[in-house]
């Protein structure tokens, strides 16, 4: 039996990220709840290939007092379907939905009728207080819980926003032991800081995290790496901060600690398309970094400016060349189909990816790869808000279509068929984006 059941919904897209790494958000929620004496079961339905029969059996076996379901645009509709199924089985079982999709669409989520509470934005303390309300009765009213939306007397109530957790070190390490790690291709992901200070129009970060990047202490990060290495002996670790190489001094300090403590593990991370000093790249490789993902997005300076990327095509090229010279592999992530895209800019992007790939002359050199995805107007982004003013129904008619490979919107003067053709051309150069 468990007090709380946390669920990662299935998703129709076979490129579901949960197949590659554990849902880290749920792992953090589980740790905070466990640290406060709640028993927790985590279910990743996609990885476990959970059927309705299996879910019914889990509900009967665990008899949870509270269910939490996470949501991204990829899993939102499936999460709603799971919640609806659970409500039919257990009408009095409270269900909470969190994650970016529900956070930005609390009213729409609550109107579904199967969700009792939406946990908005950062969820650890919020979920803990919800548990205290439903399970222990330590909190007398939902009105006292910051960062939630719920229905009261048939009306939707959105409480005051919860302040961010300022000291991330106070949160324990993710509860990886609750997952069958053998079922994930790359289960060992780490986040050393939450948020991003930049303002890209297609990214939810600026609204989700208010353009802040709150970092953990270097000592805390290294302790987690040591724990993973000692306990699991991983082949590779992935730092999944949106922009890990934001603070060069901090990154070098992390590398120095790994080197000094003789932690020999291969790892990857991400960065913007801003050149990285050769001394930093040297330290990254010495500490075990063998791959860096660059958010390139476009090969057109006009498009880069329009989406507020804050970098130029020349910046990106210089960055990729530097990483490659530093003996580290690089993957350039591109998005095609922005409203400001044209046939010319799409061709420029595909040609730019080819140009960057040509930096790898032999198989003995670090790879230079590109991955492509269709632009997704995600709730909580400037792109979504701008498009919403024009065609609300079209944008939200079916979230199942938001799979990062199917064009949801098309640039002016381009048809959906033409956009699909450009996606096919792009995939001949690179790989489909691994969301």
66 with 27, same domain?
yes
CATH of the domain at 420: 3.20.20.70
Could you tell me if 196 and 205 are in contact, meaning their C-beta atoms sit under 8 angstroms apart? yes
| Predicted local confidence at residue 20, as pLDDT | 79
151 with 230, same domain?
no
- Tokens 């129009």 identify what position? 201
Which residues form the domain of 350? 188-432
CATH of the domain at 115: 3.40.50.2300
The sign of the CA dihedral 418, 382, 303, 71 is negative
Residue 171 belongs to some domain of the structure: no
Residue 175 belongs to some domain of the structure: no
193 with 147, same domain?
no
pLDDT confidence band for 37 (50 / 70 / 90): very high
pLDDT tops 70 at residue 392: no
The pTM for the full model equals 0.94
For the segment 67-76, what is each residue's pLDDT rounded down to a tens digit? Answer: 999 999 999 9
Q: Which whole number is the average pLDDT over 7-36? A: 83
* Average pLDDT of the chain, as a whole number: 93
Residue 152 belongs to some domain of the structure: yes
Number of domains in the chain: 2
Residue 177 belongs to some domain of the structure: no
- Render 381-418 in DSSP notation, one character per residue: SHHHHHHHTT-HHHHTS-GGG-SSSS-SS--TT--HHH
269 with 390, same domain?
yes
114 with 60, same domain?
yes
359 with 295, same domain?
yes
Residue 315 belongs to some domain of the structure: yes
Whole-number Å distance between alpha carbons of 301 and 279: 28
Q: Which whole number is the average pLDDT over 356-371? A: 93
Whole-number Å distance between alpha carbons of 160 and 145: 8
Cα separation of the two ends of the chain: 33
pLDDT tops 80 at residue 166: yes
Whole-number Å distance between alpha carbons of 336 and 410: 10
pLDDT confidence band for 89 (50 / 70 / 90): very high
């Amino acid at each position: 039996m468990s007090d709380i059941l946390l669920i990662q919904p299935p998703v129709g897209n076979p490129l579901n990220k949960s197949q590659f790494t554990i849902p880290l958000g749920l792992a953090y929620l589980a740790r905070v709840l466990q640290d406060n004496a709640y028993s927790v079961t985590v279910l990743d339905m996609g990885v476990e290939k959970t059927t309705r029969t299996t879910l019914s059996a889990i509900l009967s076996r665990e008899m949870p007092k509270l269910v939490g379901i996470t949501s991204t645009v990829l899993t939102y509709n499936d999460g709603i379907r799971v919640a609806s199924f659970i409500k039919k089985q257990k009408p009095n079982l409270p269900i909470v939905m969190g994650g970016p999709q529900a956070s930005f669409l609390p009213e729409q989520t609550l109107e579904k009728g199967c969700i009792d509470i939406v946990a908005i934005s950062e969820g650890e303390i919020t979920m803990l207080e919800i548990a205290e309300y439903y399970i222990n009765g330590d909190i007398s009213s939902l009105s006292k819980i910051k960062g939630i939306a719920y229905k009261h007397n048939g009306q939707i109530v959105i409480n005051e926003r919860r302040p961010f957790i300022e000291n991330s070190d106070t949160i324990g390490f993710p509860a990886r032991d609750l997952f069958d790690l053998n079922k994930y291709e790359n289960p060992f992901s780490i986040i050393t800081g939450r948020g991003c200070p930049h303002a890209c129009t297609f990214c939810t970060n600026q609204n989700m995290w208010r353009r802040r990047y709150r970092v953990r202490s270097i000592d805390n990060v290294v302790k987690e790496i040591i724990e993973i290495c000692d306990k699991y002996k991983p082949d590779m670790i992935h730092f999944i901060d949106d922009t890990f190489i934001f603070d060069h001094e901090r990154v070098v300090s992390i590398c120095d600690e790994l080197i000094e403590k003789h932690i020999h593990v291969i790892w990857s991370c991400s960065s913007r398309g801003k050149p990285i000093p050769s001394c930093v790249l040297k330290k990254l490789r010495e500490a075990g970094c063998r791959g860096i993902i660059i958010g390139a997005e476009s090969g057109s300076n006009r498009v880069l400016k329009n989406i507020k990327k804050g970098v130029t095509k020349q910046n990106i090229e210089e960055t990729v060349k530097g990483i490659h010279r530093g003996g580290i592999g690089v993957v350039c992530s591109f998005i095609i189909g922005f409203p400001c895209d044209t046939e010319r800019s799409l061709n420029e992007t595909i040609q730019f990816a080819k140009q960057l790939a040509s930096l790898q002359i032999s198989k003995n050199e670090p790879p230079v790869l590109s991955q492509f995805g269709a632009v997704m107007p995600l709730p909580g982004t400037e792109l979504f808000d701008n498009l919403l003013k024009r065609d609300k129904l079209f944008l939200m008619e079916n979230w199942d279509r938001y799979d990062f490979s199917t064009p949801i919107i098309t640039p002016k003067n381009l048809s959906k068929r033409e956009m699909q053709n450009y996606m096919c051309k792009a995939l001949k150069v690179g790989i489909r984006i691994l969301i």
